[in-house]
Chains A and B, each alone.
Chain A
Amino acid sequence: MSVLEKPAAPAAAAPPQPPKRWKRHEVIAGYGFLTPWLIGFFGLTAVPMLASLYLSFTRYNLFGAPEWIGLDNYLLLFEDPQFRQAAKVTLMYAVIGTPLKLAAALAIAMLLNSKRRGQGFYRSVFYAPSLIGASVSIAIVWRALFIDDGIVDRIGSGVGLDWGGWIGNPSLVMPMFVLLTTWQFGAPMVIFLAGLKQVPNELYEAAAVDGAGRWRKFVSITLPMLSPVIFFNLLLEAIHSFQIFSSAFIISNGTGAPAGSSLFYTLYLYLRGFQDFRMGYASAMAWVLVLVVGALTFVMFKTSNAWVHYGGDER
C-alpha cells in the first residue's frame, strides 16, 4: 500500500483568510481542474485501500468470491515463521541501512558544500546513482558485481578475503543490500545540501572567533541548525526502507533467496498474493505494514521535540 508519502511540511504558516466568498462558477471550475487528481485519488488510492481492508478479513484466491473469516488472517501472521523472517529482515535493513545512508548523504553534502571549481559537476555526478539506483538495471548490475567471481569477489580474494560471491551466502546478503541503499544517498544529500546553505555563515565566524575547531562547529552549529532537515530525511528514508521491493525481487530472482535472507516484507507480501493467490492474507500483511509505519512515524514525531531545533524557537 502506498504509505504516507509526504510527511507534514516542517513549518506551515497560518492559512491566509479567504478574501471573500468564492463565486459559484469559480468553485465549479476549481473542482473541474481537480477532477483528474480526484479520479486518481479515489480510483487508485482510496477505494483500493478500503477494498483491501475488507479483503484482509476474507479468504480470497482471485478465482472465487471472497469469504469472510474475520481476524483469522491477522492471527495466522503471528504463527507464520516466514512472516517473522520477513519482519526481521526488513527491520534489520531499516535499522542498519537508514542511518548509514543518512550519514553518507550528510558527509558528501558537506564536502560538496565547500566552494571549489566544478562544483555543479560534482553535485550532478554524486547525485547520479540515486537517479538510477532503484531501477531494475542497477539490481542486475549489483547481482553481477557480487556474484561468484564477480568484481567484489575478485577484489576480496586479492586482499585475502576468500568469501566467494555474496549473492548465495545468507550472512552476506544483508550487507550487500545495505551497501546498495547507502550508495543511493543522492536524494537526502540534495536536501542536506539545501539545508547547509541555510545555515548563516555568521554563526561559524562567531564560533571561529571563540576558537572552535571543525568538530566543535559541526556538533554545536551544523547538527542543531540542520536538525529539521535531518528529521525530514530520517522520516522519509525510514519509510522508504520498509518499502524495498524491486532490488530484492531482481537479485533473488523473486524468491527471497538464499534461505529467506532477502525475503523483505513487500516481497513476501507479493509472493503470498501472486504466487500463492492468498490475497486476503497479503492484504492483511499490507495493513500491518501501514499500521507499523504509521506508529513509527508517530513515535518519531513525538520524540522529535527533544532534538529537532527549528529556527525562531525560544530555547
Chain B
Amino acid sequence: MKLTQKLSILITAGAVLATTVACGGGNDAGGDGATGTITFTWWGGDDRAVKYKEAIALFEAANPDIKVKTSFTDFPNYWTARSTEAAGRALPDVMQMDLSYLREYAENDHLADLSGLSDIDTSGFDEGQLNAGKVDEKLLGLSAGTNTFALFVNPAVVEKAGVEPLAEDYTWEDWNAWILDVQKAGAEQKGQPITATADYRGTLWIFIQWLVQKGVDPYTADGKIAFTQDHIKEFLALGDGPNQAKAFSSANRITQLKPKSPFLVSEQASELNWDNFTATYVTDMDTEIQLLPPPSGADGTKGMFWKPSMLLSVANNSERKVAAAKLTDFLLTDPEVGKIFGNSRGVPSNTAQREAVVSEEGSPDALTTAYEEAMTEHVTAETPVPIKGFGTLEATWLRLAEDLSYGKISNDEFVEQWWAEAEMATL
C-alpha cells in the first residue's frame, strides 16, 4: 500500500489543491535517537509562538545535543498538514494533539505509546488527565492543561442592557428567560442590538456537557455513539424559545464578524466557552470579565468535567524517540516552562508546572486558576473521550446549527442529517 499512499500525497498536493506538503525533515543519522535534530509543531497564534520559542531555548541549553526545528499554523490548516504527513508516515517528531483527533491518529499506529518512553515522567499528572490521553490502554497523548466550560459574562454589557445578572446556580430555563429579558430590554451597541448569547446549540461539546449533566454517557466503551436521536431533539428543543423569538445573536451578524464574535465586540452579554479563552477575551476586550459555571440541570447539578485543552504526542515514525520524549517531558513538566506559559495552554495538568504559575491579581491567569479551583466541587464527571471522526462530527454539527439559525432546516432535519453524517464518519 506504500505506493498508493505515495500517490495519494501527489494527488492531494497536485491535483485537488496545491497544498504544501511539509517534508518530514531530520534525516541525519544519529545513534539511538537521543541526539540530533527533531521537529516540533503546534497550532496557535503569535503569542504562543513566542512562548514556545522561549521554552525551546531553555530546552536546547539544557540538551546541547538536540536541536529543535519548529513550525506552527492555525487550527484548521494544522490538521490538513498533519493528515497529509500521516499518509506519508512523515509526521513531526513531537506535535500538539487535540482530543477530537486523538483516535483518528491512534489508528494504524501513528502515535507512539508514551508510557514506553522512560524519559517521560508521568508522576506529576493526575489519573483522569492521563486516562483522557489513552486509547486502548496506550498513552498516546499527554495533557498539557485542563479546560472546563465557563459562561463568560461581560458585566458592562449586562449593565447596559439593564437586566439582573445571572445567579451562579442558574438552570437552562433560567438562562433562556435571561436571554429573552436581554432582548426585551432592547439596548444597542453602536447601532447593533445587544443580545445575551449566541445560539448555544451550535457547539457539539455543549451538547456533550448537557448529556453528561443528565447522567448520560455520550459514548460506549468501544468508541461508539451512546446517545440517541431523541437526546439531540430534546437538546435542540431547549433553545427553540429564544430562537423563535430571535433572541440569540443573529447568524448573519456572527458570519460578518468572523474571525471576531459579537461577544468580543461587546454586542453580546455572555458566551459559553472553554475557560482557557479567558486570556483572549481579557486581552482583546480590555474590560472586566466574569466567569460563571455553565447552567445546571433540573436537579441542580452541573456535572462538569476536565478536558485536556491540548496534548503533546510523539510520532511513531520518529527516528529520534528518545530526544522527542525528552522534549515532551520538558515542555510539560518543567516549572520554568510552566512559568512561561501560565494558563495559556489551559491550567497546567502537571503539578510542578501548575505550582510554578505566578499570576498577578486580576490577570487572566489568576481568573482561570481561581475559576477552576472554585469549580472543583462541580466537576463530578469523567472526561468523555471523543470517538473516532469527532472532528468531522463537530464541523458538521456547527454547519447544521448555522442552517438552523438561518431557518433553512428544522430541528428534525438537523437530527436526520447529522445522524447520517455520524454513521458515515464513525465507520
Contact = CB atoms under 8 A, between A and B. Distances in A.
B177 to A, nearest CB: 28
Nearest to A50: B7
A62 B427 CA distance: 15
Contact of A270 (B17, B403, B424): B17
A234 to B, nearest CB: 26
Interface string B169-193: 0000000000000000000000010
B20 interface: no
B256 A48 contact: no
A2 interface: yes
5 contacts: A1-B16, A63-B87, A63-B108, A170-B408, A274-B12
Given A76-B424, A258-B406, 19 more contacts: A2-B15, A45-B14, A47-B7, A48-B14, A49-B15, A51-B7, A54-B4, A59-B427, A62-B8, A62-B84, A62-B86, A62-B87, A63-B83, A167-B256, A168-B252, A259-B408, A274-B80, A277-B104, A286-B16
B8 A60 contact: yes
Interface string A26-54: 00000000000000000111011101101
A148 B83 contact: no
Contacts of B403: 259-260
A122 to B, nearest CB: 34
Given A47-B7, A48-B7, A275-B395, A286 B15 contact: yes
A247 interface: no
Question: Which of B16, B87, B104 gathers the greatest number of chain A CB atoms within 10 Å?
Answer: B16
B7 A168 contact: no
A282 interface: yes
B interface secondary structure, majority:
helix
Interface of A: 1-2, 43-45, 47-49, 51-52, 54-55, 59-66, 76, 81, 147-148, 164-165, 167-170, 245, 253-260, 269-271, 273-279, 282-283, 286
Contact of A279 (B12, B108, B250, B424): B12
A258 B252 contact: yes
Given A2-B15, A44-B10, A279-B8, A168 B255 contact: yes
B388 to A, nearest CB: 9
Given A63-B108, A258-B252, A273 B392 contact: no
Contacts of B395: 271, 275-276
B253 interface: yes
Nearest to A59: B427
Contacts of B207: none
Given A51-B11, A62-B8, A65-B4, A270 B104 contact: no
A148 B4 contact: no
A52 B15 contact: yes
Nearest to A149: B191
- Which residue among B11, B87, B403 has the maximum number of chain A CB atoms within 10 Å of its CB? B11
A48 B255 contact: no
Interface in B92-115: 104-105, 107-108, 110
Contacts of B256: 147-148, 165, 167-168
Contacts of A271: 395
Nearest to A280: B8
Interface of B: 1, 4-5, 7-8, 10-12, 14-17, 19, 76, 79-80, 83-84, 86-87, 104-105, 107-108, 110, 192, 250-256, 258-259, 391-392, 395, 399, 402-403, 406, 408, 417, 424-425, 427
Contact of A257 (B11, B402, B417): B402
B399 A170 contact: no
B253 A258 contact: no
B81 to A, nearest CB: 10
A167 B87 CA distance: 36
A260 B16 CA distance: 21
Contacts of A52: 11, 15-16
Contacts of B87: 62-63
Most buried by B among A55, A256, A259: A259
B412 to A, nearest CB: 14
Contacts of B10: 43-44, 47-48, 51
A253 B83 contact: no
Contacts of B14: 43-45, 48
A44 B7 CA distance: 10
A63 B85 CA distance: 9
Contacts of B76: 254, 275
Contact of B12 (A64, A254, A258, A273): A273
Contacts of A148: 192, 253, 256
A259 B427 contact: no
Nearest to B108: A64
A148 to B, nearest CB: 5
Contacts of B84: 62
A270 B83 CA distance: 13
A269 to B, nearest CB: 7
Nearest to A259: B406
B16 A63 contact: no
Contacts of B79: 274-275
B255 A63 contact: no
A62 B10 CA distance: 12
A62 B83 contact: yes
A49 to B, nearest CB: 6
B1 A167 contact: no
B4 A258 contact: no
B80 to A, nearest CB: 5
Nearest to B5: A65
Contacts of B5: 65
A54 B3 CA distance: 13
B15 A258 contact: no
B141 to A, nearest CB: 16
A2 B402 CA distance: 32
Nearest to B3: A51
Given A55-B8, A63-B108, A64-B107, A258 B16 contact: no
A258 B83 contact: no
Contact of B11 (A63, A255, A259, A283): A283
Nearest to A275: B395
Nearest to B416: A81
A68 to B, nearest CB: 11
The listed residue with most A CB atoms (<10 A of its CB), out of B7, B76, B250, B253, is B7
Nearest to A169: B252
B15 A45 contact: yes
B409 to A, nearest CB: 9
Contacts of A65: 1, 4-5
